[in-house]
């Protein structure tokens, strides 16, 4: 049995990619299996835990709920695209320094959700952070150090802007 | 009290050792790994809680399923023993004759395309002769059906101190209570998963998400009838565990190994969330009964405690969980007369296993709720009943262990009251509550958690750990203790760097591979920092002494000088390796038969305060602030330590208010994250963490255990606060809005309610 699927074109972390896969294949599986981007994790497969969070055309999505067909022509950002060359993204730095990552399995999704939050709201309040990350479950940290990390990253971003 | 030694690295907030890999998304968890030629495995499970298997049929004519393309394994394919080697060996690797719980593994199947597996699994039809199932502690106690041994009891303990019966007749107050705790799912975000590879010459090799490589190693030796050197277990990056990957990986590794042996190719088995929730271990449900005598001032005279836990279908870790439950059931109090009787019962449910706290959260919930009722009976405050009964230096516990280390419960209580603004808030809430639908309250829990294995456990483990320096100059910590978020890598390399006198950055962890590292024991029981850390501290000092002695290392040295000395040492001795074996602290005595003596080498102590708001319109209870004050010995890394406390408190909040395992005919009915609810970023209260530090001489740089402690206190503190807010004595967790609704809307109105 061999079926020839039509190509799906996506821009992934700024680079264009083309995959020939079943159109209903989950974006999560395309990222992990076809593009080798295993940074995006599966936690529940039903859009509850947010471990598979990626950005699609500037929106945060659960990639386990997105058939790749829907991502045709889309711009996808994953955890692998956060650091530029060897320089960690401010959120990555802050998660390291503040203890925002423990076992690390929710971290990629959490970082993408936090990226989305700061893109919309560069200096969120604690309650805005709580709401912005409520779709991403972490079982290790109790979230306190994740909140600290986002506040710290927002401050770093502010400093970078002021330095310019 | 020993003085805190001056340290450079220990006690500082070093960056998590594997943190960069984690934030970059390049840390490799088992599902991120692929091996050339690898197939995928899946499991056919029992659909009934108890019965005899009478037939296994592979449906012919299933669209798209050609059975000749699949590899199929049943119990008949097991080359060694059909059991998972835990404390006992009663749990089969694959059910052959009887099934004893829903979701028990019966048939394994593998295919090159994992997307073909679900249809194939549902194409296997198992026929049963069903037997009557035992589905609760009470069913098991009734012994109408005997499902394990000759009385359904996995284990029991009996402990007597003084003579409780001499007290009842004359005591001022006798207070009785019965407390229940539900099952709790670990809900690590990474499900269980392994990859196994098998060949005749090398034997079996397993990579997996797991806590205890040598537990898996021992289990595989039995299932495959292989010698130790033909079994190799490698831990991959592990996405949370909390006890849930202590014993279950032995089951899953055996399954994947059997498929790999038959398929003659590597096999990956990774559970999805529904399978992980339905089939793997959880926290033991419990029922604890208290009968307590106090004098007119509230001083404890006698405690009679009866504990029953639900162990599920096989004994797994139930005996040791029960032991810890028993040893924590009196709370941190002095009482001259104590009787404890505890039993772990068999039921036809998925075996309950290890979960952070390991029995202690269950019995601490009971005693700390009960002390609240004792206070009310006596007519004194929640703080006063505790203060009058706290253990102090020189007092003895129920096992007649004398407290030889400082016990500072009074200080912890004072600090908790002060930091939380306890008295002022209670006063304000009492006024506000009178005119508000939102009722606020404050609750306290005081408790200890024993560090390390119980009783003579650490002596039996006889752990070995150390440090080596490779020919290419890498300084490595050699342990089988694993990292799964709690900070093993960071803490142990901090300790090694400290004792070797070189920078943190210059020390790394050897791979967690049974072919490389010695057996430093399982990564459980809040033992890694204290016990294994101490071995690393000693190994470092031992290596430095050897290098000074025979390899020309001076008083002051750089990493380069250290490595040069290591090469001199290698030239003489062939290797640079320093291993240390566990040595028990002196004067430790434990009598397993009488259940008496030093139950733990050290205890971590805590007083927690919960602040809650109960909405009497929606009946929901919310934790609005949480204060955690503890003494865990020397804090080795303040960021990691606070992270442990915050994470444990959040799990405790879930245990108290949200997380309910609903069983239907023994099968978990809510086996999805959609309807098994853990606290989210929007639900957790602000958690304020405070440490008092009293270095413990026999722990690494003064450390005691920390990991499990924070799960012990939140549930009773929260329910105590709810009682403070609305005056209701709730005795079961999880306490959900429905329960509060039933109590406030019906029971108090005098209407009958069906349970």
* Domain residue ranges of chain B, discontinuous segments joined by +: 19-27+463-581, 33-131+186-279, 286-454+595-747
Nearest to A105 among B18, B239, B673 (CB): B239
Residue in the block written with tokens 């850390």: B533
Q: How confident is the model over A94-108, as pLDDT tens digits?
A: 999 999 999 999 999
Q: How confident is the model over B687-720, as pLDDT tens digits?
A: 999 999 999 999 999 999 999 999 999 999 999 9
What is the band of B755 on the pLDDT scale with cuts at 50, 70, 90? Answer: very low
- Cβ of B687 within 8 Å of Cβ of A144? The answer is yes
What is the band of A160 on the pLDDT scale with cuts at 50, 70, 90? Answer: confident
Does residue B752 register a pLDDT over 70?
Answer: no
From chain B, pick out residues whose CB is under 8 angstroms from the CB of A45.
272-273
Q: What is the DSSP letter of A132?
A: H
Q: What is the DSSP letter of B452?
A: S
Q: Which strands form B475-478's sheet, in the order they lie side by side?
A: B507-509, B475-478, B464-469, B577-581
Residues contacting residue B61 through CB under 8 Å, at least 6 positions apart: none
State which residue of chain A sits closest to B485, comparing Cα positions. Answer: A103
From chain A, pick out residues whose CB is under 8 angstroms from the CB of B239.
41, 103-106
To the nearest whole angstrom, how far is the Cα of B678 from the nearest Cα of chain A? 8
**Do B286-454+595-747 and B33-131+186-279 have the same topology in CATH?**
yes
From chain A, pick out residues whose CB is under 8 angstroms from the CB of B240.
102-103, 105, 139-140
Compute the distance between CA of residue B668 and CA of residue B661 in angstroms, rounded to an integer: 7
Spell out the CATH class of B33-131+186-279: alpha beta
The bridge status of strand B286-294 relative to strand B173-181 is antiparallel
**CA dist B36 to A15, B33, B265, B267, B481, Å?**
27, 10, 9, 10, 29
Which candidate, A102, A109, A110, A108, places its Cα nearest to that of A141? A102
From chain B, pick out residues whose CB is under 8 angstroms from the CB of A51.
189
Q: Which long-range contacts (CB under 8 A, 24 or more apart) does B727-732 make?
A: B729/B369, B729/B372, B729/B373, B731/B177, B731/B178, B731/B179, B731/B180, B731/B369, B732/B179, B732/B180, B732/B181, B732/B182
User: What is the residue-wise DSSP string for B190-255?
Assistant: SPPEEEEEEETTTEEEEEES-S-HHHHHHHHHHHHT--GGGEEEEEPB-S--TTTTTSHHHHHHHH
- Cβ of A49 within 8 Å of Cβ of B673? The answer is yes
From chain A, pick out residues whose CB is under 8 angstroms from the CB of B273.
43-46
Q: How confident is the model over B378-425, as pLDDT tens digits?
A: 999 999 999 999 999 999 999 999 999 999 999 999 999 999 999 999
Which candidate, B681, B688, B687, B621, places its Cα nearest to that of B657? B621
Q: How confident is the model over B506-528, as pLDDT tens digits?
A: 999 999 999 999 999 999 999 99
A31-60: buried (b, 16+ CB within 10 Å) or exposed (e) per residue? bbbebebbbbbbbbbebbbbbbbbbbeeeb
What is the band of B633 on the pLDDT scale with cuts at 50, 70, 90? Answer: very high
Q: How confident is the model over B129-159, as pLDDT tens digits?
A: 999 999 999 999 999 999 999 999 999 999 9
State which residue of chain B sits closest to A94, comparing Cα positions. Answer: B23
Set out the domains of chain A in order of their start, with CATH numbers: 8-81 (3.10.20.30), 90-163 (1.10.150.120)
Q: Given 3-state DSSP classes, what are the helix, strand and coil percentages for chain A, each rounded to the nearest 5?
A: 40, 15, 45
Q: Are B130 and B278 in contact (CB under 8 A)?
A: no
Q: Are B403 and B393 in contact (CB under 8 A)?
A: yes
Cα dihedral value B176, B182, B187, B191, nearest 10? 130
From chain B, pick out residues whose CB is under 8 angstroms from the CB of A145.
639, 642-643, 646
- Cβ of B487 within 8 Å of Cβ of A107? The answer is no
CB pairs under 8 A between A and B: 168
SS3 B422: helix
Does residue B754 register a pLDDT over 60?
Answer: no
What is the band of B4 on the pLDDT scale with cuts at 50, 70, 90? Answer: low
Given this model, what pLDDT does residue B5 score? 62
Does residue A85 register a pLDDT over 90?
Answer: no
Does residue B14 register a pLDDT over 80?
Answer: yes
One of 3.40.50.2000, 3.30.365.10, 3.40.50.720, 3.40.50.300 is the CATH number of B286-454+595-747, namely: 3.30.365.10
Round the average pLDDT of chain B to a whole number and report it: 96
Q: How confident is the model over B639-688, as pLDDT tens digits?
A: 999 999 999 999 999 999 999 999 999 999 999 999 999 999 999 999 99
- Cβ of B273 within 8 Å of Cβ of A44? The answer is yes
Does residue B374 register a pLDDT over 80?
Answer: yes
Given this model, what pLDDT does residue B750 score? 64
Q: Are B58 and B124 in contact (CB under 8 A)?
A: yes
Domain B19-27+463-581 adopts which CATH fold? Aldehyde Oxidoreductase; domain 4 (3.30.365)
To the nearest whole angstrom, how far is the Cα of B235 from the nearest Cα of chain A? 13
Does residue B2 register a pLDDT over 50?
Answer: no
Does residue B3 register a pLDDT over 90?
Answer: no
Does residue B294 register a pLDDT over 80?
Answer: yes
- Cβ of A79 within 8 Å of Cβ of B24? The answer is yes
| Torsion sign, CA atoms A33, A38, A42, A47 | negative
Q: Report pTM.
A: 0.97
What is the band of B1 on the pLDDT scale with cuts at 50, 70, 90? Answer: very low
B555-584 average pLDDT score: 97
Nearest to B684 among A43, A80, A143 (CB): A143
How many percent of chain B have pLDDT more than 90? 95
């Amino acid at each position: 049995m061999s079926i020839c699927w039509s190509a799906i074109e996506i821009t992934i972390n700024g680079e264009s990619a083309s995959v020939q896969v079943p159109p209903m294949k989950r974006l999560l599986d395309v990222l992990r299996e076809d593009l080798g981007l295993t940074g995006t994790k599966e936690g529940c497969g039903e859009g509850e835990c947010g471990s598979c969070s990626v950005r699609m055309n500037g929106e945060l999505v659960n990639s386990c709920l997105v058939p790749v067909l829907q991502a045709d022509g889309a711009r996808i950002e994953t955890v692998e695209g956060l650091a530029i060359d060897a320089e960690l993204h401010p959120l990555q730095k802050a998660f390291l320094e503040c203890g925002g990552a423990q076992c690390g399995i929710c971290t990629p999704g959490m970082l993408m959700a936090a990226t989305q939050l700061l893109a919309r709201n560069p200096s969120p309040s604690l309650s805005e952070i709580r709401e912005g990350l409520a779709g991403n479950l972490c079982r290790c940290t109790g979230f306190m150090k994740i909140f600290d990390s986002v506040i710290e990253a927002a401050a770093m971003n502010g400093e970078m802007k002021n330095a310019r | 009290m020993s003085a805190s030694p001056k340290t450079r690295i220990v006690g500082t907030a070093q960056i998590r050792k594997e943190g960069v890999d984690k934030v970059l998304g390049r840390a490799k968890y088992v599902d991120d790994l692929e091996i050339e030629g690898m197939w995928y495995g899946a499991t056919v499970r029992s659909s009934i809680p108890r019965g005899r298997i009478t037939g296994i049929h592979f449906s012919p004519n299933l669209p798209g399923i050609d059975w000749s393309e699949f590899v199929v394994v049943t119990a008949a394919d097991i080359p060694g023993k059909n059991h998972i080697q835990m404390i006992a060996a009663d749990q089969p690797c694959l059910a052959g004759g009887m099934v004893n719980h829903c979701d028990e593994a019966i048939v394994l199947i593998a295919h090159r395309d994992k997307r073909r597996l679900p249809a194939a699994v549902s194409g296997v039809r198992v026929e049963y002769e069903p037997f009557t199932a035992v589905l609760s502690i009470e069913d098991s106690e009734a012994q109408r059906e005997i499902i394990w041994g000759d009385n359904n009891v996995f284990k029991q303990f009996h402990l007597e101190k003084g003579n409780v019966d001499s007290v009842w007749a004359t005591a001022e107050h006798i207070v009785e209570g019965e407390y229940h705790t539900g099952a709790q799912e670990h809900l690590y975000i990474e499900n269980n998963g392994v990859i196994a590879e098998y060949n005749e010459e090398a034997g079996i090799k397993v990579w997996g998400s797991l806590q205890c490589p040598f537990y898996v190693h021992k289990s595989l030796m039995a299932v495959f009838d292989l010698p130790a050197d033909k079994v190799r277990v490698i831990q991959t990056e592990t996405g949370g565990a909390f006890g849930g990957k202590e014993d279950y990986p032995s089951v899953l590794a055996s399954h994947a190994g059997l498929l790999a042996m038959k398929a003659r190719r590597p096999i990956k088995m990774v559970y999805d969330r529904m399978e992980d929730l339905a089939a793997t271990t959880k926290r033991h449900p419990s029922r604890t009964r208290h009968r307590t005598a106090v004098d007119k001032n509230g001083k404890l005279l006698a405690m009679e405690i009866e504990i029953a836990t639900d162990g599920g279908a096989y004994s797994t870790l139930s005996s040791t969980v029960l032991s810890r439950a028993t040893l924590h059931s009196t709370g941190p109090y002095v009482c001259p007369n104590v009787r404890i009787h505890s039993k772990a019962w068999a039921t036809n449910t998925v075996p309950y296993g290890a979960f952070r706290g390991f029995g202690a959260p269950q019995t601490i919930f009971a005693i700390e709720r009960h002390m609240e009722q004792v206070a009310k009976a006596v007519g004194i405050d929640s703080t006063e009943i505790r203060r009058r009964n706290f253990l102090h230096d020189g007092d003895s516990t129920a096992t007649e262990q004398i407290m030889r280390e400082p016990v500072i419960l009074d200080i912890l209580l004072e600090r908790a009251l002060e930091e939380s603004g306890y008295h002022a808030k209670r006063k304000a809430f009492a006024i506000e509550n009178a005119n508000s639908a939102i009722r606020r309250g404050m609750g306290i829990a005081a408790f200890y958690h024993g560090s390390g294995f119980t009783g003579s456990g650490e002596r039996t483990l006889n752990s070995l750990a150390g440090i080596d320096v490779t020919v290419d100059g890498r300084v490595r910590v050699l342990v089988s203790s694993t990292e799964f978020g709690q900070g093993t890598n960071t803490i142990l390399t901090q300790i090694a760097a400290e004792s070797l006198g070189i920078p943190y950055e210059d020390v790394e962890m050897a791979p967690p591979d049974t072919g490389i590292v010695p057996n430093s024991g399982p990564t459980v029981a809040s033992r890694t920092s204290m016990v294994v850390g101490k071995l690393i501290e000693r190994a470092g000092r031992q290596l430095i002494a050897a290098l000074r002695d025979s390899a020309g290392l001076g008083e002051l040295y750089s990493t380069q000088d250290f490595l040069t000395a290591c090469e001199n040492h290698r030239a003489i001795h062939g290797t640079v390796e320093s291993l240390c074996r566990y040595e028990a602290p002196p004067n430790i005595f434990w009598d397993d038969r009488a259940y008496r003596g030093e139950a733990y080498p050290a205890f971590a102590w805590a007083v927690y305060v919960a602040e809650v708001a109960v909405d009497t319109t929606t009946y929901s209870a919310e934790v609005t602030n949480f204060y955690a004050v503890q003494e865990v010995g020397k804090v080795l890394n303040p960021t990691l330590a606070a992270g442990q406390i915050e994470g444990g408190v959040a799990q405790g909040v879930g245990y108290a208010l949200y997380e309910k395992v609903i069983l239907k005919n023994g099968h978990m009915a809510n086996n999805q994250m959609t309807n098994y609810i853990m606290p989210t970023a929007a639900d957790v209260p602000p958690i304020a963490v405070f440490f008092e530090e009293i270095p413990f001489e026999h722990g690494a740089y003064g450390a005691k255990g920390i990991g499990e402690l924070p799960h012990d206190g939140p549930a009773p503190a929260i329910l105590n606060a709810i009682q403070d807010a609305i005056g209701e004595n709730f005795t079961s967790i999880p306490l959900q809005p429905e329960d509060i609704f039933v109590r406030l809307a019906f029971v108090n109105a005098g209407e009958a309610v069906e349970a």
